[in-house]
Amino acid sequence: MLRLIGCTVDAGNSSAGYVGAGPHHDACSRQTTGFGSVRGVATSVRPAQGWLTAGAKATTPGAAVDLFEYQGKQLFARYGIPVSAGNVAVTVDEAVAAADAAGYPVVVKAQVQVGGRGKAGGIKLANDAAEVRLHAGNILGMDIKGHLVKRVWVENASDISEEYYASFTLDRGAKKYLGMLSAQGGVEIEQVGEEKPEAIARIHIDPAEGLSDAQVRGWVAAAKLNPIATEGAVDILKKLFTAYTEGDTDLAEINPLILTPDNRVHALDAKVTLDENAEFRHPEWAEYAATQEMDERERAAKEKGLNYIGLDGTVGIIGNGAGLVMSTLDIVTQVGGTAANFLDVGGGAGATLLANAIEVINNDPNVRAIFINIFGGITKCDEVANGIVEAMGRVELRSPMVVRLDGTNAVEGRAILAGHVSDTLIPAATMLEAAQRVVAIAGGM
Amino acid sequence: MSIFVDKSTRVVYQGLTGSQGSFHGLRNRAYGTQVVAGTNPKKAGTDVEGVPIFATVADAVRETGANASCIFIPAPGVASAVMEAAQGGVEFIVVITEGVPAHDEARFFNVLKRDYPHVQLLGPNCPGVITPGECNIGITPGEIALAGGSVGIVSRSGTLTYQALHELTQLGIGQSTCVGIGGDPVPGTSFIDCLSRFQADPATEAVIMIGEIGGSAEEEAAEYIKTKMTKPVVTYIAGQTAPPGKKMGHAGAIISGGKGTAEAKISALRDAGCDVARNPTEIGGLMAERLRKG
């Protein structure tokens, strides 16, 4: 039996496999993989939609939102999945109150969306209020790989007999849901996936049919969990599937799912990614907006309804459609420039949105020239042109703009710009010509 | 010949009374598409510039013989709009709307597959399909396409679809059909669905396929091209310089876990005998060269 702890232990407390290693999501997944924590587990599996990886903190409209552990656990609890008694705390006093309510011993866990929090000292066992005070005091405000710890999760420590892994996500190739379950959960699940893929039992679930009781039982049997865990696992997997589907999550993962010495099955961690496209039917998600972490440029852009990702170059880029914007980055790089950002105004952008986009780019001190690349479909080039003119009146532009307009209402759009052509507004006929001109202004690498 | 749509396609627009629906629906009609009906339960009996509005798709099918639907309904209503279209009796459903929840897509795709296997869904979050000179359904600006040609186009990205049409048209190369499949997690129509139809279409001599980083749809398409296609395929993959791990907007466009990189896709496509353009401008030139070689 492994002694303890909310899925993670600091050195000296446990068997070798656990010492100093965080729970799976500390160890790896948010940093390195697009697919939960099981990179390499399923070669046929696509990354969960919108999974955000290390350093990419952008949360874009229509994208995905990664929940903190405590938010995931609270969500699981709402679907009846057993989680440890606990609470989130932003001060030492709150942490002590949470520990008193949860019952000692407790685990104090830093709430950050970055790997390695266990190794960084962000997860500690506390046997009494004084220890909670000490550890919470140290952990709150700690910097873990550039992430400031603003909250801790304090929960009753669990005794662990066995650790399992369970998750649901979308297999984009099969166009079906994929469930994965393993008797060998815990921090090494990625390695299990790579070295012993047969140790992970997988099922495809037809989204039109849902998950049947017989299917769950067959799946649990295939995973060869301890028979004593069967009923508990079946119950949790059904509830996790409901949380996955009704909760509109891209990923619902428990690692580890534990069996306790008194034969209870219990979720000791929670990893949940929400599909932001479903926000309209989840008013309860409003609370997550305040805790999402992103850089200031990205937050400002998101508030204006823009899909923005900050990069390090000198050419500010605005385009419509992710593919065209990526391809604009490509062509700028190919002619010797560097992109300062990815900014997709999306489909159907009007003048004000375009003006806002220019304003966001203009506020980036690295930008030396701006490339506006629009191919109108649902977006109308005359509205884009009006947005450019609006921005020129509203914003003190620090950099020249090179503009390429094609597609819907392009003739009208070019005519609007024609009256404003200057050193700061340069029309270009093609994407390649525009790239060359903008890079000539911004300078090469 | 062409794929999916032609002169005989009769289209009902779900959402024709909205601002986007009416702009693009009427634009499609001006292009020559048979825009035979719109739907809106509250406005049945009225018309949008002569296009009759019905309460349901079933009514529109019965009264006008519509056999395709184009959906401009806001995202929350798309799932029920798709089911209404299938129940109403159309065989081709194009969903332009973006921002549809992934679980909705997964469900209606599989329900259609189970209950309406003859129905072809395109999208969501796609620009639609155009057979130049015959039928344009969706938001593709028809004037950039050139009729009477033999090049088929399939693309995951909307705006790059237009770019590819534009590049070919500039060179005087016409298109048989151009399909934007969209970049959502569960696209109704895949690359392979289109490639197999282009391979079978006598009017198509060569194909342009435009992919993006992320996922493995391009790798699967490469395998199909290698084993099943005899017609030449010119490809472009967007996001060749995107930093790993950065999600670039499309739900599908992310590099992760070493899979789905531009390099992996390009290498698979080259291995399948495809020409691979470095940027969208090169697509036209490579295709012109292919067609010259025959």
Q: Length of chain A, please?
A: 445
CA B77 to chain centre: 20
Residue numbers in B near A51 (CB within 8 A): 247, 254, 256
Task: Test A307 with B111 for CB contact under 8 angstroms.
Answer: no
For chain A, percent of residues with pLDDT exceeding 70 = 84
Examine the pLDDT at A209 and tell me if it is beyond 90.
Answer: yes
Sheet bearing B34-39, strands edge to edge: B47-48, B51-54, B34-39, B10-14, B68-71, B92-95, B120-122
Catalytic positions of B are 250
Kindly report the nearest CA distance between residue A320 and chain B, in angstroms: 7
Helix (H) or strand (E) segment spanning residue A250:
strand A249-259
Query: Rounded mean pLDDT of A323-329?
Result: 93
Q: Is B127 on the interface with A (CB under 8 A)?
A: yes
What gap in Å lies between CA B60 and CA A444, rounded to an integer? 58
CB of A52 within 8 A of CB of B253?
Answer: no
Q: What are phi and psi of B246, to 5 degrees?
A: -95, 125
Task: Test A324 with B159 for CB contact under 8 angstroms.
Answer: yes
Q: Residue A298: pLDDT band by 50, 70, 90 thresholds?
A: confident
Which parts of chain B sit beneath pLDDT 70?
243-259
Across-strand partners of A404? A373
Across-strand partners of A426? A402
CB atoms within 10 A of CB A267: 24
Nearest to A333 among B76, B111, B241 (CB): B241
Tokens of A370: 């701006």
- Closest residue in A to B191 (Cα–Cα): A173
Residue numbers in B near A381 (CB within 8 A): none
CB atoms within 10 A of CB A418: 11
Residue numbers in A near B140 (CB within 8 A): 377
Burial classification of residue B53, based on how many CB atoms lie within 10 Å of its CB (0-12 exposed, 13-18 middle, 19 or more buried): buried
- Closest residue in B to A407 (Cα–Cα): B141
Task: Test A324 with B216 for CB contact under 8 angstroms.
Answer: no
Q: Is B280 on the interface with A (CB under 8 A)?
A: yes
Kindly report the nearest CA distance between residue B173 and chain A, in angstroms: 18
Q: Which domains does chain B have, with CATH numbers?
A: 10-122 (3.40.50.720), 141-293 (3.40.50.261)
**Which candidate, A427, A352, A428, A350, places its Cα nearest to that of A390?**
A352
Q: Residue A187: pLDDT band by 50, 70, 90 thresholds?
A: confident
Question: What is residue B25's predicted lDDT score, i.e. its pLDDT?
Answer: 97
Question: What is residue A289's predicted lDDT score, i.e. its pLDDT?
Answer: 81
Query: Rounded mean pLDDT of A185-210?
Result: 89
Examine the pLDDT at A354 and tell me if it is beyond 80.
Answer: yes
- Closest residue in A to B114 (Cα–Cα): A208
For the ranges A17-21, A415-419, B146-150, B162-166, the lowest mean pLDDT is seen at A17-21
CB of B251 within 8 A of CB of B183?
Answer: yes
Give the type of residue at B275: D
CA B259 to chain centre: 25
Examine the pLDDT at A147 and tell me if it is beyond 50.
Answer: yes
Q: Residue A236: pLDDT band by 50, 70, 90 thresholds?
A: very high
Rg of the Cα trace of chain A? 25
Render the burial of B89-121: b for 16+ CB within 10 Å, e for the rest: bbbbbbbbbbbbbbbbbbbbbbbbeeebeebbb
Can you tell me whether residue A55 is helix, strand or coil? coil
Query: Rounded mean pLDDT of A21-31?
Result: 30
Examine the pLDDT at A367 and tell me if it is beyond 50.
Answer: yes
Examine the pLDDT at A227 and tell me if it is beyond 50.
Answer: yes
Question: What is residue B213's predicted lDDT score, i.e. its pLDDT?
Answer: 87
Question: What is residue B247's predicted lDDT score, i.e. its pLDDT?
Answer: 53
Question: What is residue A290's predicted lDDT score, i.e. its pLDDT?
Answer: 79
**Which candidate, A202, A180, A256, A223, places its Cα nearest to that of A25?**
A256
Task: Test A175 with B246 for CB contact under 8 angstroms.
Answer: no
CA A349 to chain centre: 25
Of A55 and A240, more confident: A240
Tokens of B20: 């986007």
CB atoms within 10 A of CB A363: 15
In 3-state terms, chain A is what percent helix, strand and coil (to 5)? 35, 25, 40
pLDDT digits (tens, 9 = 90+) for A253-293: 999 999 999 999 999 999 999 998 999 999 999 989 878 77
Give the type of residue at A67: L
Catalytic positions of A are 165, 253
Judged by CB atoms within 8 Å, which residues 85-124 of B form the interface with A? 96, 98-104, 106-107, 109-111, 113-114
Q: Which domains does chain A have, with CATH numbers?
A: 42-84+161-277 (3.30.470.20), 296-442 (3.40.50.261)
- Closest residue in A to B238 (Cα–Cα): A327
Task: Test B239 with A329 for CB contact under 8 angstroms.
Answer: yes
Examine the pLDDT at A15 and tell me if it is beyond 70.
Answer: no
Question: What is residue A377's predicted lDDT score, i.e. its pLDDT?
Answer: 82
Average confidence score pLDDT of chain A: 83
Nearest to A177 among B106, B212, B253 (CB): B106
Question: What is residue B252's predicted lDDT score, i.e. its pLDDT?
Answer: 40
Which of A33, A175, A297 to probe by mutation at the B interface, max B CB count within 10 Å?
A175
Question: What is residue A194's predicted lDDT score, i.e. its pLDDT?
Answer: 80
Q: Residue A30: pLDDT band by 50, 70, 90 thresholds?
A: very low
Task: Test B256 with A375 for CB contact under 8 angstroms.
Answer: no
Task: Test A46 with B215 for CB contact under 8 angstroms.
Answer: yes
For the ranges A239-243, A322-326, A368-372, the lowest mean pLDDT is seen at A322-326
Residue numbers in B near A329 (CB within 8 A): 239, 241-242
A112's CB contacts (< 8 A; 6+ apart) are A68, A122, A144, A147, A148, A149
Residue numbers in B near A64 (CB within 8 A): 247
Question: What is residue A118's predicted lDDT score, i.e. its pLDDT?
Answer: 83
Examine the pLDDT at A58 and tell me if it is beyond 80.
Answer: no
**Which candidate, B166, B213, B85, places its Cα nearest to that of A375?**
B166
Examine the pLDDT at A48 and tell me if it is beyond 50.
Answer: no
